[in-house]
Chains A and B, each alone.
Chain A
């Protein structure tokens, strides 16, 4: 079973969303891809994150992760403005494989939407979703 931290919310396209920590202003969220997603992709060799200042709509393709074999889009789980992106991924894409919920975070968005929104899954719901997908 893959690691699914209980304090995060998840999308059907395997992004995770975290309410802002101390370093980000109120209403900001941090976004990355799940343990399951990085494992399915395999060794990542290229990551493109959205530019700071870009305005995103929920569901919009805004980042790309490429493994040796294939490229995949990453979709923003929320609407809002990009306030930070993880520059380290440009030179160390493997951070996403090694620590998808920590050093492998991708970008932060200032948003008005709540992460308790019905479109985002709890950890338990995401675990069920993965189990269903595997059937």
Chain B
């Protein structure tokens, strides 16, 4: 049997189709993945993301530790509550995981990591934290619900205590506030506004049902994947992994090379890789009908022998009604490529993600 979140029984009662995801038994959808997708783009949907790892780091030297551990620079976080997206790298530059770190105080940072990488992340963090006297605590006791969509915040507010409601209402994008055992962040993985709420696992089912009563559509991992891909957001294990570094994964913007004297793990390798032509991650829009899928071969325009790349994430975009993908390809000036689908080549255009944000198509189709 796989691992179960505090909301597992609730999902089953709501008719979820349950699948294994990184060892966890999670809802794929509750009937129609496409309707759940549209609910998030047009109104409000919610996801059980309690399988993700919530890790609290505490100690006087936590900031110094994270400056060494992460490729992005927590020194950029000046205001308590502010969040930062970063990769955690091997010395080779390969990506151990991508994560969000919340700066709560000089002695408390909260990190949220992927479910499938949680154990190796914890081992890596603990190994390096010792030298900084930073304590590392996995918060098994918390559940996490992501409420996303243009009406997500409005529909969530009435469920909060008065003091929480005021603070949550004032949260700027990519900021969080902590109240006793609750933690409310204005973050997400869909390209829509919303909250990610961390709360005691014992309160999860009651809260989920109350959110449901507010007209928020339960949504599964299926919709989560189409939403994140439309939003141009990477998925660990597909779009980057330990064998692929951020600079060839569309994540150069998350690597803080300045200040030049911050010696984070993987820095030296990335400094060397910066000077090579290499590969890049691009967005693809399929011109024909059909569906792009990960591992399909991408054939570049040019002269023989034609260089090739690979689709890292592909899907059907319910918002665009076309197939979209992220693909790792040799750096190129060309705007057109072909993708091999079941032995046949199909034309696709290189586009700049995101494909969709805040309910609007950003790519002409």
Please list the residues of chain A having a beta carbon within 8 angstroms of any beta carbon in chain B. 42-43, 45-46, 48, 64, 66, 68-69, 71, 90
Contact = CB atoms under 8 A, between A and B. Distances in A.
Given A43-B34, A46-B291, A71-B291, A64 B316 contact: no
A64 B342 contact: yes
Given A42-B222, A45-B316, A46-B316, A68 B33 contact: yes
A46 B289 contact: yes
B234 to A, nearest CB: 18
Contact of A69 (B222, B289, B318, B323): B222
B15 interface: no
Given A42-B29, A43-B32, A43-B33, A68 B315 contact: yes
Nearest to B322: A45
A117 to B, nearest CB: 29
Contacts of B17: 42
B293 interface: yes
A90 B34 contact: no
Interface of B: 17, 28-29, 32-34, 222, 226, 289-291, 293, 315-316, 318, 323, 342
Query: Which residue, A43, A66, A68, A90, has most C-beta atoms of chain B within 10 A?
Result: A68
Contacts of A42: 17, 28-29, 32-33, 222
Nearest to B341: A71
Contacts, number: 37
B32 A45 contact: no
B225 to A, nearest CB: 8
Query: Which residue, A42, A45, A64, A71, has most C-beta atoms of chain B within 10 A?
Result: A45
B293 A71 contact: yes
Nearest to A70: B293
Nearest to A39: B17
B342 A68 contact: no
A48 B289 CA distance: 10
B45 to A, nearest CB: 15
A124 B174 CA distance: 57
B34 A46 contact: no
5 contacts: A42-B28, A42-B32, A66-B291, A69-B33, A71-B293
A27 B342 CA distance: 32
A43 B222 CA distance: 11
Contacts of B289: 46, 90
A90 B289 CA distance: 9
A68 B321 CA distance: 11
